[in-house]
Amino acid sequence: MAKLYFRHGTVGSAKTLNLLAVAHNYERQGKKVIVIKPGFDDRYGHQEVASRAGLHREAHIILSPSNRLEMSEFSDVQCVLIDEVQFLTVAHIEQLRDIVDQVGVPVICYGLRTDFRSRLFEGSRRLMELADSIEEVKTTCQRCNRKAIFNLKCIDGVAMLVGPSKQVGGDETFQPVCSLHFVQALERDRIEGIDDQIAESELTS
């Protein structure tokens, strides 16, 4: 029976590398896959799905908030793979659920669970509500050997809680960290009026 999967992990946990490996394995067996990404993520180009390890491929579908996934696009597909699923809308997540139920195709979603303020992304929240299977793609904290569970935003080495929730960036901006080092970094780099920063960030996200 087809299922809706959510495979989440912090930045740097090889989520996209995992997606690319799954796509390769399906195609090596002569099976058709569709790879989807949000148009919001253009770090490696509008069409590219790329991992930090250097592997990449073109996505078949680029989603903007106004796009709709049509069931007819998936009738001859054996697997649907989504990169950076946290940037999708609630409506998109519900359409993915429909693909699983109505077409009978497994849909595997990869993305972040929470933003750099430890708040659930809109798409991730809805996916956690609807997914048949929720799996964690694990990695270690950049500052110790504990499991990373937070995405720490650092600008010029200073921990930050400001800015829109939806933003893209590489190792120079976001770090996978454990709870201890998330809190320690914010306390060490604590800026006067940080509560006002958080409130401002929430208004602009």
Active site residues per annotation? 84
Nearest to 18 by CA among 45, 55, 44: 55
Question: What type of residue is 20?
Answer: L
Beta carbons within 10 angstroms of residue 46's beta carbon: 11
107-111 sheet: strands from edge to edge: 61-63, 33-38, 79-82, 107-111, 4-8, 133-136
Element (H, E) at 186: helix 179-188
